A and B are shown apart, each in its own frame.
Chain A
């Protein structure tokens, strides 16, 4: 009756309560594991990105080493270059750059009108939305004019805000045009009442670096007092060589690309170092160190800081322009080619160069103190105590910086004193992170705005997004693994005393971390990277399954192949440097000499006979020259069972 039915009801509601609990519990566990996988993927992307940057910094010391040795060997060639370049120097006039290039009637892209107005900004935005390409004539004109105006700007721009004139600060864009469109859509175009600071790293990695640069430069020319550009570590022609901007320009501007690169090199060096807002907020790209001296930085000749890869050597400090001694200075030009100037090397003194490197490359960390930034190879890791010290020293309240990708687009640390702002959403992969910008107004707390661009009309479910990110991250990690196959195999075998082909998870993780130099959660990632037997032991050779490096030359020894694959970015830059006549070819002899230097400096153990053999093999038509770029392009990694996923970051430059 009534009693029994109510007890059935209670029992029933009890069981459904229990059932609901089970499902909720299970779902929360599942969701948490998805989130953890997402974080692991992000960690992989970040580690590899910073390891690459470290590689770039290493290249810098190699170049110093190379100059000392190489310059002696090829002095005559350098003399010849010197002559042709001196005349090049004279031609650095507007006339050469711009007026010699005609815009044909058939061109139906945007036509800018100087002096520029906000109409030109709209014109550019519309055109780039239609994926049009701005004619080289206008690109050069804009860059030239921008450089002219930048020259008049101080190292630090001082900006004041007010309730009717809030300042918007954007971080890294890295060639992601959709993000810039999103920011303008949400926050309005730049104008006298809508000022912006773009805090560096406008270019590299994304595929629209030149379009972003054009929009920013044109906006700057229209509103020079309300559109502020700070230099980032990627506003550096040597970085552009490795990270894609140089390629983008040479691809989009086949005829005039080299000229564009030349003027870019100079423009970068004239970009201001930072912005100071309301006398209390410092906005710079990277960070600070315990020796950061803002007074010194206010006065350095910033245009002498050409590239992070051209460090001052001992001789640079010597400003004697003693032409009688025929001092030949050696530097790089826009596409990394060695050139000489008759004049003394125009470099900063070492301590000033280091001050700027710290500003462009440092990262904040939780640990007190100031340590070399071993992740990136340049700048430092600075702790909350350093932040307090420096901010107090100059009576500042906050540091706003960029330089690091954050999942939410921004991050606050050091007790609210340091803010990281990053504006390229989906930086590593679709779904990896949001982008953000800050609005500042004196007297009120900073406001943060986030966004995430997506090609789809609505977000994919979380599991799909995580899967995409994870696959992409694992793929690039596997490429690292295969590039160290010989070293890894040796390390594994050393640990495998019983020659069983198996190691404990701990031993495997130890080898991976040591050889690859990547601080990753190897145990958590192991199921994605190797086969594990039912006892929890790792079949270590399965680390290399389903992936191999395609050899352009069959007879090449596998270790050599791996080494060439691993260093191909570096080698590309180096060989471009040696190729003094821009022919794309280097002689077999140059190849050998180059390789000797490289292997000595990088401690690469490949014996000479192998290298000689390879050199001869690469000289396919036996005419004594090697098309090195073609050769390097041929080294790529083949993934067996390639899924229908789109390519990840490895394809960007």
Chain B
């Protein structure tokens, strides 16, 4: 019995949290957001779906005949489930560090700008030009034209907290 009550409270809190995040992007105040903002909303709630996973999620919350807008009524239950099941957990710092180390086969402690561009735009779920430019602007040390990934990660982690 207590367990059920507790769950209800948790769900209620999730609902409020999701509503807050949704409303900030609901420009016309009519309980819809542009589908292109859904990724931002989901990620702002602390989840990290891949682009592929995001694509599937959007299909789940879209109207049968896609309108370009997602309604809150459809989004809420789906997002609540995600939070309850703790799906798409963010990537821990050490995993991120290891990923960089894998790409840095020579174990120099850094990646050159060109190497980073190559990996990010040719492998995995490639970056758009805009995404690449933005990452470079903060990550690259202009003197050495490279990214010292350990420092970079530390800086980003401080930022987020």
Q: Which residues of A contact B (CB under 8 A)?
A: 15-33, 35-36, 39-40, 43, 364-367, 411, 413, 459, 461-464, 505-506, 509, 521-524
Cβ of B124 < 8 Å from any Cβ of A? Answer: yes
Is B39 a contact of A32 with CB atoms below 8 Å? yes
CA distance A524 to B46 in the complex (A): 11
Closest A residue by C-beta to B123: A20
In this assembly, does B106 line the interface, its C-beta being within 8 Å of a C-beta of chain A?
no
- Besides A16-B119, A17-B124, A462-B138, 12 more A-B contacts (Cβ < 8 Å) are A16-B102, A19-B100, A20-B119, A22-B95, A24-B51, A24-B120, A24-B126, A25-B49, A39-B24, A365-B28, A411-B27, A524-B17
Does B44 sit at the interface, judged by CB under 8 A?
yes
User: Nearest chain-A residue to B17 (Cβ)?
Assistant: A523
B42 partner residues in chain A, CB cutoff 8 A: 32
The smallest C-beta distance from B20 to any residue of chain A, in angstroms, reads 4
In the complex, the answer to whether B17 meets A28 with C-beta atoms within 8 Å is no
Q: Are B123 and A506 in contact (CB under 8 A)?
A: no
> In this assembly, does B144 line the interface, its C-beta being within 8 Å of a C-beta of chain A?
no
Give the chain B neighbours of A462 by CB distance below 8 A: 134, 137-138
A20 touches B103 (CB 8 A): yes
Select from chain A the residue with minimum beta-carbon distance to B13. Answer: A506
Q: Would you give 24 A-B contacts (Cβ < 8 Å), ordered by A?
A: A15-B102, A16-B119, A19-B103, A23-B100, A24-B51, A24-B125, A24-B126, A27-B131, A27-B135, A28-B39, A30-B160, A32-B42, A32-B44, A36-B21, A36-B40, A40-B24, A364-B28, A365-B28, A366-B29, A366-B30, A413-B27, A463-B138, A521-B24, A522-B20
Q: Which residues of B contact A32 (CB under 8 A)?
A: 39-40, 42-44
- Residues of A with C-beta under 8 A to B47: 29
The interface of chain B, by Cβ under 8 A from chain A, is 12-13, 16-17, 20-21, 23-25, 27-32, 39-44, 47-51, 90-91, 95-96, 98-100, 102-103, 119-120, 123-127, 131, 134-135, 137-138, 156, 159-160
In the assembled complex, how far is the CB of residue A361 from the closest CB belonging to chain B, in whole angstroms? 17
Which residue from chain B places its CB closest to the CB of A506 in the assembled complex?
B13
B125: contacting residue among A21, A505, A506, A521, CB under 8 A: A21
Cα distance A23–B127 when bound, in Å? 11
Residue of B with least CB distance to A37: B44
- B95: chain A residues at CB < 8 Å are 22
C-alpha spacing A491/B57, complex, angstroms: 40
Residue in A24, A40, A364, A464 whose Cβ sees the most chain B Cβ within 10 Å = A24
- Docked-complex contact A28 and B43, CB < 8 angstroms: yes
Give Cα A620 to B42, complex, Å.
58
- Which single residue of chain A is at the shortest CB-CB distance from B159? A463
Query: Are A20 and B138 touching (Cβ within 8 A)?
Result: no
Instruction: Kindly list chain B residues whose C-beta atoms are within 8 Å of the C-beta of A366.
Output: 28-32
Query: B105 to nearest A CB, angstroms?
Result: 8
Rounded to whole angstroms, the CA-CA distance of A23 and B41 in the bound complex is 20
Compute how far the CA of A26 lies from the CA of B91 in the bound complex, rounded to whole angstroms: 6
- Whole-angstrom distance between the Cβ of A364 and the nearest chain B Cβ: 8
Tell me the smallest distance from the CB of B50 to a CB of chain A, in Å.
5
